[in-house]
Amino acid sequence: MIELLVKVGNKRRWFTASWLKGSTVYAIDQRLLPFRFKIVALKTHYETAEAIKNMTIRGAGSIGAVAAFACAQAVLECKSSEWPKKALLGFERIANTRPTARDLFFAIERIKQSIANKKLGEAKKAALKEAKKISKEYQENGKLIGMFGAKLIKDGCKILTHCNAGWLALHDWGSALAPIYFAKRLHKKVFVFVDETRPRLQGAKLTAWELANENIEHAIIADNSAGFYMQKSEVDLCIVGADRIASNGDVANKIGTYEKAVLAKENGIPFYVAAPLSTFDFKCKSGKHIPIEERAEEEVLFVLGYEKDLRKVRIAPKKSKAKNPAFDVTPAKYIKGIITEHGIIKPKRSTIKKLAKKSKKVRK
């Protein structure tokens, strides 16, 4: 594990993004960062599902790991007379939290398989075991993504990223940031352009916070200035994460990713996506079939900032409405490669088909 070294009070401590202890899920409240560091204790699957929905917990891999924990909670909460109906209702509740994130459904499917045809006592043990296994896999896969992706990074490399696909978003190590963290451990000097990532500012708030804790040189830039730096030849490489990858290589990621990919292509800059196999939707034919989550318009109309305390401030006229798609789809033709725990692959249907077969073998 990498874990993040965080200053809490006068002490520095190591943390993963979330963990399960007994039947309680513990997680860093990502909504409060970077202004306040708080661990939340989620004692029921209802609380954990709501934490995923309201983005206390966010990021593809972290959603997957915590969804697995939530499913285990749903099983543990059952009585003999309620089994398995109550657990299945819990799984459905968890599934309805974030429609675009493939890792959410990956985790639910894994827990379902682990408890199939089991009596309640056996199912409780199996669900806990599988949830912890999924959590460990995210940690290991993030490190492997870092190891493979670091080969793309030369000493002195300037990298553009979008949103937060780091330690907070993949439970441990990260996806898009993992190669950067690994490169640092190989003593390579790296500079990161951090897209602010409107409207929730996950880049400015979360990615910058992670990089600061890692002592990696970086600068936050407005989303619409990325092209400026690309045009000036100041960006060598783009690496982003993913929330769902279709079987043809199309990628759904945080809104604004598509724009960066098109600009990178126009300026001759290699654009990579970093994601574990759990983010691939092998049954999804193309990006056109990926459901795109629409979030509340207040995320666009207001900003959350800090002045003595956290405050939400409206930045638009009171009569104005807003549209707020949380993700967009980047066609495979703009993507140089996808960095996975099995290496860097081309975003092609034939390559991803082979990866699907490998995924089945890994699960057996």
pLDDT of residue 7: 67
Same domain flag for 124 and 173: no
CATH code, domain carrying 57? 1.20.120.420
User: How many structural domains compose the chain?
Assistant: 2
pLDDT score recorded for residue 363: 56
What six digits make up the tokens of 158?
């300037």
**Torsion region of 340: left, alpha or beta (phi above 0 gives left; psi -120 to 50 gives alpha):** beta
Q: Domain containing 298 — which CATH number?
A: 3.40.50.10470
Last residue of a domain, one of 117, 143, 169: 143
pLDDT tens per residue across span 196-208: 999 999 999 999 9
Residues 169 and 55 in one domain: no
281 is annotated as an active-site residue = no
In the block, which residue shows the tokens 């992670």? 210
Q: Which residues, including other chains, have CB under 8 Å from residue 15's CB and lie 6 or more apart?
A: 3, 4, 6, 28
The residue ranges of the chain whose pLDDT is under 50 are none
Region class of 14: left (phi > 0), else alpha (psi between -120 and 50), else beta: beta
Tokens in use for 193? 């352009």
Same domain for 210 and 297, yes or no, is yes
Together in a domain, 151 and 130: no
pLDDT reported for residue 240: 98
Residues 94 and 139 in one domain: yes
- Pure H helices in 164-323: 178-185, 202, 208-213, 226-231, 257-266, 298-301
Cα separations in angstroms, 190 against 137, 155, 186, 197, 265: 27, 7, 11, 21, 22
Q: Which helix (H) or strand (E) holds 271?
A: strand 271-274
**In terms of Cα–Cα distance, which of 262, 279, 153 is closest to 216?**
153
Please tell me whether residues 211 and 227 are part of one structural domain: yes
Same domain, 161 and 290: yes
Shared domain check, 165 and 107:
no
Q: For residues 24 and 304, what is the distance between their CA atoms, to the nearest angstrom?
A: 29
Tell me which H or E stretch contains 197.
Answer: none
DSSP state letter for 269: -
Alpha-carbon separation of residue 357 from 64, 100, 113, 267, 348 (angstroms):
21, 23, 18, 35, 15
The last residue of a domain, from among 101, 118, 143: 143
Q: Which amino acid is at 252?
A: A
**What residue has token string 């002195």?**
156
Residue 219, both tokens: 């600068």
pLDDT score at 357: 82
- 207 and 174 share one domain: yes
User: In the chain, what's the furthest Cα-to-Cα distance?
Assistant: 66
Quote the domain boundaries for residue 258: 147-363
Q: Are residues 73 and 153 in the same domain?
A: no
Amino acid 342 reads H
Query: Are residues 257 and 351 both part of a single domain?
Result: yes
What local confidence, expressed as pLDDT, does residue 217 receive? 98
pLDDT of res. 3: 63
Q: Where are the beta strands (DSSP E) in 162-216?
A: 190-195
Distance from C-alpha of 250 to C-alpha of 271, rounded to nearest angstrom: 13
Catalytic residue among 172, 223, 243, 328: 243
pLDDT of residue 358: 73
Q: Are strands 309-314 and 302-307 parallel, antiparallel or unpaired?
A: antiparallel
Of 101, 198, 196, 103, the C-alpha closest to 142 is: 103
Domain boundary among the residues 93, 126, 143 is at 143
Neighbours of 311 (CB within 10 A): 11
pLDDT digits over 206-264, tens only? Answer: 999 999 999 999 999 999 999 999 999 999 999 999 999 999 999 999 999 999 999 99
Residues 49 and 131 in one domain: yes
